[in-house]
Amino acid sequence: MSKIRLVVAVGLLVCFIIVLEMVSNLPQTKAETASESNITWRQVDPADVQIGKSYLIVSEHGALANAQATINTPGDVTGDTQVGMVSKPVTIEDGLITSEVTDDMIWQFGLGANTAVESGGLGEGRGYYLLNNAPGAGGGTEPLRRESSFNAQHAPLNTTGAASNGNQQSLLMQVLDEEEGTVSLYYWGGNNQWNFALTSTEDGFTAKSKAASTTSAAQLLEQMQESPSLRLYEPNVTVGVQHYVMASSGENGSISPSSLAGHVWVNDGEDVTFTLNPDFGFEVDKVTVNDEEVTVTDNTYTIKNVTASGTSIHVTFKPASTATDVPFTVYNDIFSVGNVTTAVIIDLGEGNEANLADLSADMFKAGARNTRLDGSTVIFDGMRNITRVYVNNDPEPLGYISPAPGSDDLVTDTPASGRYIIVEFEFWNANGYTSGSMVSGTLQNAFSTILNYRVNVDREIKLTDGTTIIPRFTQAEVVNPALDKFVPDKTNPGGTGSMDILLSIDESWEDLGPLPLFIYNHGGGRGGPSGDYFAPVQTANGAAVLSKRQLENPGKYNAHIIATQNHSNNQANNEALIAYVEKLAAEGKVDLNRIYMSGFSMGSMYTIGFYNRNPEFLAAIVPLAGGTLPTVEQLTANPELTKTAIWAHTHKDDGAGNAWTNYFSTGAGASGLYSEANVTVLETNQAFNFPYYGFDWTPHETEAQLFSNLIGQSNASFRYGAGHEEYADKNIFDWMFAQFRAENRIDDLKETVAGLDIVGGKKNALMVKLNQTERFLDTKHDKPEQATNMLNAFISQVNAFVNPGTLTEEQATEMIHAAEETISYINYITDLR
């Protein structure tokens, strides 16, 4: 029987001293590479693995390589495919790998950050970061990662797209057979949490779980036994006794030699000389060896006679005395998937300009060390890929060129000169968002982030007047035009049902009068921690998307916006929100006939719960992927439910897929009771417009698809409702803003007046005004302004009948409300024209 034991640490880890922020600043030198001398590779005992040396990870399908692959996963996830890593074939002869080994097959182990509690023989120790030094996406900067699984058995696997987020990035190693030297590498979240084993297939490597849910330690062990086992290989060379020196650097320069994990291995008793490499415009500030400052000569320092591991050398850099401070802004943009850092914008200052012809992307480099609001939890630490550099006369991007063919607002004929240098980043590719692009780190990370960017150049910046500057770029501010409109507030501070919200007030209400209000409720887990008020809008959020639509289409979507935070699906919470909105209405800002609400998953349940309890408050709802809609009996018992327009969205394989298909085919949704009812049951969650171009999310993730696509673009398996044809070339906000709660209440008013027990002359005076209003509204006359004036005269006469007792207060209030609602109806119909 094979023995199983857990490798939790190797002998050298006890004295391993590394600070994670060092890694992104290390020069990405390659250690051993097979191309140098056609060396072979021998299998290594897992117990002998050492941090910072080079290894191959090999299964029966080949060696793990740092390149994206599409993995077939039939039946496990939407579309039956998942992002993974390439498996490159190898030839093994007499126990040695004799075939070509390329750079992307070579990995280093770095010390991980696992903090989950061990259980069932799994999860002990800090684990490892698995690092690869190959050129290209993720090479040298990002560990092998698993993405969120979205309730699927496979988790996407890559080195580019996830945040540096604790356990998600730490691999642990389980020895399957000591004699054979076989292992399994796995991601550990804790017993009955999200756990995945690194698994190879003919298509490549992926991360696989035993179930499409949380898994136990026993289930993960079973998954390891069923997955192809792994073997580790090292260069087949004799090196004798070696020791490591930890070499690291601060920002704005590098130290060499070094390695991905910071270790420089030296033969026993030998010397090692380090070269200190300042970036352009910087110089060496201080060098320390074992935390003691030392003197350097010509930017080099030699550590002599290395006889033990653990010596450390660290270098920091400072701006050159000739450098000039040049500020830059970190520019964020909103897409349907969340808040994304798309560029840094360099300000050359008033009166200064640069020529486009004197700039190129290869002269710049940019990186960041971003943390959560606590300042210590790292979200991203690494370099950003630059797609282009150009100039502009305003501090904003001129569209985006990546992914190709670029954004709809792409300006290709960029100015020949300008005050602002726009350094545009890659933020999306065929495999999703790229590393460091999403402010919160991932779609699932609902946290605000402190963005700390740095920019360097390798030459002087030429100005149009012929002078040059050696820049010292300093971050001045972070902007997001769509999110900067929001301010935090509470619906009922210190009182019952209060919740945190973000509020965007559209100042056009001062000229246009009361405006619509859109309320969006985030999905479960996306509300963020208490005090992090902007957390809900860091990931996919309809409120943020509408805010951007307003910027893109001035005057088209005039409305106020509320993004709720950590909502609670109960009437106390609803009443606090209603009272808050009614206060805005009393201030003249909000039109109570045009209140719209939407939400995703848990937020969809909140939306439907609010609607079921308070239907008269909402003109339209757009629930996404969750919630139970009212029955025929409930619609019949409360006709107010039927007056709220509805457009439900879900994926056929998600929880609401079958339920909502039935509801709108043979159930209450198709009963004819609703004034406006629509549903889109999706075949795929593909989003077809920039930057997605057909990217498909797993079944539950419907937000990006809904808010990115036009109605007619969605790949649906079932559609119900007239809205699909009428709004095929429009988006969901176009449909939503066409809905309103107000009705033409003339018939109700005429019936009420006819039943009044008052003098015939007074009754006739009221009836004449209603008949005149009706006449002004018919298609022949079409005089809405005269109709409104006549209803205002009707209201004045009703008020006049109260004082002498002709009408009671209750009768007058009822008729005035119906008249005012009809005026709102007239005004809204007029605006639509």
- Dihedral through CA 375, CA 380, CA 382, CA 388, nearest 10? -110
| Model confidence, pTM | 0.85
Rounded mean pLDDT, 377-396: 93
More confident site: 153 or 401: 401
Quick one: pLDDT at residue 15? 30
Q: Would you place residue 38 in the very low, low, confident or very high pLDDT band (cuts 50, 70, 90)?
A: low
Cα separations in angstroms, 420 against 348, 355, 734: 6, 10, 35
Quick one: pLDDT at residue 713? 96
- Indicate the helix (H) or strand (E) that contains 247: strand 242-249
Q: Phi then psi for 334, rounded to 5 degrees?
A: -105, 130
Angstrom distance (rounded) from CA 48 to CA 10: 7
Does 514 sit behind a cis peptide bond, omega within 30 degrees of 0 on the bond before it?
no
C-alpha 610 chain-centroid distance: 26
- Dihedral through CA 55, CA 60, CA 65, CA 70, nearest 10? -160
- Diameter of the chain by CA atoms? 116
Angstrom distance (rounded) from CA 248 to CA 16: 13
* Eight-class DSSP state of 522: P
**431-445, 461-475, 541-555: the lowest-pLDDT one:** 431-445
In this model, does residue 37 exceed pLDDT 90?
Answer: no
Rounded mean pLDDT, 570-580: 97
Q: Is 536 helix (H, G, I), strand (E, B) or coil?
A: helix
Quick one: pLDDT at residue 24? 33
Quick one: pLDDT at residue 534? 97
Q: How does the average pLDDT of the chain come out, rounded?
A: 91
Per residue in 159-177, pLDDT (tens digit) is 877 666 677 779 999 999 9
Angstrom distance (rounded) from CA 808 to CA 816: 12
**65-74, 146-155, 427-436, 766-775: the lowest-pLDDT one:** 146-155
Using alpha carbons, select from 228, 204, 237 the residue that is nearest to residue 104. 204
Q: Would you place residue 32 in the very low, low, confident or very high pLDDT band (cuts 50, 70, 90)?
A: very low
Rounded mean pLDDT, 481-497: 97
Quick one: pLDDT at residue 405? 94
Sign of the Cα torsion 376, 377, 379, 383 reads: positive
Rounded mean pLDDT, 172-188: 97
Q: Which residues of 555-588 are buried (b: 16+ CB within 10 A; e: fewer)?
A: eebbbbbbbbbebebeeebbbbbbebbeebbeee
| Amino acid symbol at 179 | E
In this model, does residue 664 exceed pLDDT 90?
Answer: yes
Rounded mean pLDDT, 541-550: 98
- 691: tokens are 């930057």
In this model, does residue 800 exceed pLDDT 70?
Answer: yes
Cα separations in angstroms, 826 against 325, 457, 517: 59, 61, 19
Quick one: pLDDT at residue 672? 94
Rounded mean pLDDT, 266-280: 97
More confident site: 833 or 321: 321
Per residue in 424-461, pLDDT (tens digit) is 999 998 878 888 899 998 887 889 999 999 999 999 99
- 718: tokens are 């079932």
In this model, does residue 557 exceed pLDDT 50?
Answer: yes
Quick one: pLDDT at residue 767? 94
In this model, does residue 614 exceed pLDDT 50?
Answer: yes
Does 403 sit behind a cis peptide bond, omega within 30 degrees of 0 on the bond before it?
yes
In this model, does residue 285 exceed pLDDT 50?
Answer: yes
C-alpha 403 chain-centroid distance: 17
User: Do 176 and 4 touch, CB atoms closer than 8 A?
Assistant: yes
User: Do 601 and 624 touch, CB atoms closer than 8 A?
Assistant: yes
User: Do 201 and 76 touch, CB atoms closer than 8 A?
Assistant: no
Q: Which residue has 């109806």 as its token pair?
A: 825
Per residue in 404-429, pLDDT (tens digit) is 999 999 999 999 999 999 999 999 98
Using alpha carbons, select from 98, 209, 107, 218 the residue that is nearest to residue 159. 107
